[in-house]
Chain A
Amino acid sequence: MADWIVQRFSALILAAYTTVIVVWLAVYGTELTFAQWQGFIGQTWMKIFTLLTILALASHAWIGLWTVATDYLKKRLVRVVFLGFVAVSLVVYVVWGIIILWRFD
């Protein structure tokens, strides 16, 4: 139940974030400079939104892959190893993402 709601909710966040980025890129087109990009991502609301998206991405990926694993990986050991790998990778990505955001301004 909770899984199901989180999955839908995180999908909405991901869709919203993708739309914002795509629209922004479309507006600035080809003359994009790094300074502009930095200015955009460095805004407080964008930082919060990005952080939210990173968390949404991680939980979305976790629930999705957990579901796939419990459907298709029938050997317990294989499943535990796979999900362990997924969990560690996701934690690393989240921490790494936060560090990158932290340094941005």
Chain B
Amino acid sequence: MLLSIYRYNPETDSEPYMQDEEVSLIAEKDLMVLDVLNLIKEKDQSLSYRRSCREGVCGSDGVNMNGTNGLACITPISEVVTNGKLVVRPLPGLPVIRDLVVDMSIFYKQYQRIKPYLQNSSPTGGHERLQSPEDRAKLDGLYECILCACCSTSCPSFWWNPEKFVGPSGLLQAYRFLADSRDEAMGTRLAELDDPFSVFRCRGIMNCVSVCPKGLNPTKAIGHIRDMLLSRAT
């Protein structure tokens, strides 16, 4: 298999280049993309990428593999290689710090903006804030997000307006708190999203849904937010 990796070290390289490596695979053994990157790093210590859990839980190794974003650690080689070739690039649309490592500041800024925590000023009554099983079930498909940024960096609306459009990941989390029966800040949360960019830049092309390694559906959550904004306005 031919592996082609995006390399860029701003301290030594004047511009990014692709490094090609021939990798011999054992037929019976299907490695993950991260394993192959590790093999390369054994030979070439200068290759940089983020990874931690190596089992799709931490969300640190989002990369672009043959044009599609995903987590390198849970993407089997057999699933992405086409015609014996695999091209690995950093997540699109964010500034590259080095090789496959991108600067996620703007992504986190949008996450921070939606206030990703419960807002409730009522007294607790000396115990946890309780929720019925039905209300708890409304958070399924929302709370599982690991903030890997695969979705937002595959979204053209986020590429063009990362400062103003919250992006699929942030909006999924915004809805996670809008839908929470224990949260009391629905009004201010919605008010902060009600402008032409924050939510309404979503054009519903569902790139986010097709790449999410957790199988979540940001487009659906965005639809719910839109409905809430709509009924708030009328």
Contact = CB atoms under 8 A, between A and B. Distances in A.
Contacts of B196: 1, 3, 67
Contact of A5 (B194, B197, B201, B230): B230
A72 B233 contact: no
Contacts, number: 23
B233 A71 contact: no
Nearest to A72: B160
B232 to A, nearest CB: 9
Interface string B175-202: 0000000000000000000111100110
A4 B226 CA distance: 10
Interface string B143-164: 0000000000000010011000
B139 interface: no
Interface in A1-20: 1-5
B31 interface: no
Contacts of A43: none
A1 B160 contact: no
Interface residues of A, number: 9
B40 interface: no
A3 B200 CA distance: 9
Chain A contact residues: over half helix, strand or loop, or mixed? Answer: helix
Contact of B194 (A1, A70, A71, A72): A1
B229 A71 contact: no
B200 A70 contact: no
What size tier do the contact residues of chain B reach?
10 to 19
B229 A1 contact: yes
Contacts of B161: 70-71
Contacts of B230: 1, 5
A68 B161 CA distance: 12
Contact of A4 (B157, B160, B200): B200
B157 A71 contact: yes
Contacts of A67: 196, 201
Contacts of B195: 1
B164 to A, nearest CB: 9
Nearest to A4: B200
Interface in B187-234: 194-197, 200-201, 226, 229-230, 233
B229 to A, nearest CB: 6
A1 B157 contact: no
Interface in A52-88: 67, 70-72
A51 B161 CA distance: 35
6 contacts: A1-B195, A2-B233, A3-B200, A4-B200, A4-B226, A67-B196
Given A1-B195, A5-B230, A71-B201, 10 more contacts: A1-B230, A3-B200, A4-B200, A4-B226, A5-B233, A67-B201, A70-B161, A71-B157, A71-B161, A72-B160
Interface of B: 157, 160-161, 194-197, 200-201, 226, 229-230, 233
Return the 10 tightest CB-CB contacts between A and B, nearest first.
A71-B160, A4-B200, A1-B194, A3-B196, A1-B233, A1-B229, A3-B200, A71-B161, A72-B160, A1-B200
